[in-house]
Amino acid sequence: MHKVIFYPVQNGDTSQIILDNGKRILFDFRHLKCGEDEDEPAIDLKTQLKEELLKAKRDYFDVLALTHGDLDHILHSTEFFELQHANKYQGNGRVKVNELWVPAAMLLESSTIDQRSAEFVIWRREAQHRLREGKGIRVFSKPEMLKTWLEKNGLTLESRRHLITDAGQVVPSFSLASDGVEFFCHSPFVKHVDDGDDLRNDASLIFQVRFEVMGVQTNYFAVGDSTCDVLEDIVRITKWHGNEDRLKWNLYNNPHHCSHHALNPDKGDKETVPLPLVKELLLHGQPGAYIVSSSKPIPDTKEAYQQKQPPHIQARNCYERYLRQVSGRRFVVTMEEPNERKPQPLEFDITSAGVSLNMTGNSGVNIIVSSPAPRAG
């Protein structure tokens, strides 16, 4: 049985794939200081992950995939992981990362002086260090700038080609045969990082993760932050290559905390209308599919319709419409499950019988004993 777990980190992302063979792939890391407060609904991510690793008798993740460098995807991560490029980020119970996955943009982005100690800069140094060392790293896409950077560092593209995966390729570190999983890379593709010098947010990692258990396949569309134009490009390119199969999903992690920008730049009054190709992507949902929104609760209230920042109720309405249309199951919000008071990690089990949402941790007693009780007076 494989697992896909989404952690309640408010408007941000952290999810983990645990394979049947024990390998762990963590996507993004957003630790909220406020989550350490037991009265706070958001999870204390550091403690949660540490405990999970302890139970599994591990001190490392097989893969840490940083989908892009925005703070809501890496917050406090440089305090948690062991970084190889500098001693000060080592030891003291820091968690090791065997293989770091980053989009090329994250390795190349420039920063201002003020940003020197920003976490994305620290990760940039780490990624650059690993690429120079030639191990423990995978870079997604190879824009011209990457080649230039390599040359500047006295390296050739050829010597690092095995560490680079382009859109349209399957990540070589995993296979259906040996791990029961493959990661098909949809994004970033060169157009986006090479389109001028603007290495933007929308160049984040997007995979179709395909699980296989006893011949039964389950597809998970893992989208970091992205916008509708990127998604349209993905659909267009994938279709052009005759890879429509790679657009199917049984599980869809909707981009950018349920922002309407992932559907249409126009939010709409009651419901966002997806751009034609985004709509096509949504219609690739399979019967019984789930959509996960890694975000704060999305209530259907009058105020919610006025709200500027994501999550957008109009976007939710759109997703739910298409979910119904493909006979999907449920639109699940990380900060709503099983309740808004104390959300728990969403744990999807992937077996030969398909997808199910693990409900065992949801009893009142389990929830109470899994975290400190509110302070008594």
Residues at the site binding another protein, with contacts judged by CB under 8 A: 216, 250, 286-289, 329-330, 338, 349, 351, 353-359, 363
List C-alpha distances in Å: 326 to 275, 330, 349: 17, 11, 21
Give whole-number Cα distances, 367 to 261, 359, 362, 370, in Å: 34, 11, 6, 5
Element (H, E) at 159: helix 157-160
Residue number with CB closer to another protein (34 or 359): 359
Q: Using alpha carbons, select from 157, 121, 127, 126 the residue that is nearest to residue 142.
A: 157
CB of 252 to another protein, least distance (A): 13
3-state helix, strand, coil in the chain (%, to 5): 35, 25, 40
| Nearest Cα residue to 7 out of 62, 69, 50 | 50
Neighbours of 40 (CB within 10 A): 14
Nearer to another protein, 54 or 353 (CB): 353
DSSP string for residues in 70-98: -HHHHTTHHHHB--SS-GGGS-TTPBEEE
CB of 216 to another protein, least distance (A): 7
Q: Which is nearer to another protein, 56 or 353 (CB)?
A: 353
Q: Which is nearer to another protein, 233 or 337 (CB)?
A: 337
Nearest approach in angstroms of CB 353 to another protein is: 4
Quote the least distance from Cβ 1 to another protein, whole Å: 10
Report how far Cα 172 is from the mean position of its chain's Cα atoms. Answer: 19
To another protein, the closest distance from the beta carbon of 52 in angstroms equals 21
As measured in angstroms, the least distance from the Cβ of 285 to another protein is 11
**Looking at beta carbons only, is 215 or 242 nearer to another protein?**
215
* 202 vs 337, beta carbon nearer another protein: 337
